[in-house]
């Protein structure tokens, strides 16, 4: 079972863009808004098994400042 630690989110409770650490791996899981724009998706050329999500840039800045020093 994968254990997640919430690092930061756009809201304290509820469902909103959030970044989680996968315990013991150094990996991150990002919860965000599903990208459905076909032009944007064709630009990304995602392989099978991958998807794209949109999150606010402010969330990444907060993750960097609070967790990466």
| pTM (predicted TM-score) | 0.81
Burial tier of 7 (Cβ tally within 10 Å: 0-12, 13-18, 19+): middle
**Edge-to-edge order in the sheet of strand 28-31:** 4-9, 18-22, 28-31
Q: What is the overall mean pLDDT for the chain?
A: 90
Give the H or E element holding residue 9: strand 4-9
Quick one: pLDDT band at residue 66, thresholds 50, 70, 90? confident
Report the 10 Å Cβ neighbour count for 18.
19
Averaged over 35-47, what is the pLDDT?
A: 94
Quick one: pLDDT band at residue 67, thresholds 50, 70, 90? confident
Note the helical H segments in the chain: 38-44, 57-67
């Amino acid at each position: 079972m994968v254990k997640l630690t919430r690092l930061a989110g756009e809201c304290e409770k509820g469902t909103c863009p959030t970044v989680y650490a996968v315990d013991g791996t150094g990996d991150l899981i990002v919860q965000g808004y599903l990208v459905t724009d076909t032009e944007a998706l064709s630009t990304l050329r995602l392989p099978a098994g991958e998807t794209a999500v949109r999150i606010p840039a402010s969330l990444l800045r907060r993750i960097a400042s609070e967790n990466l020093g």
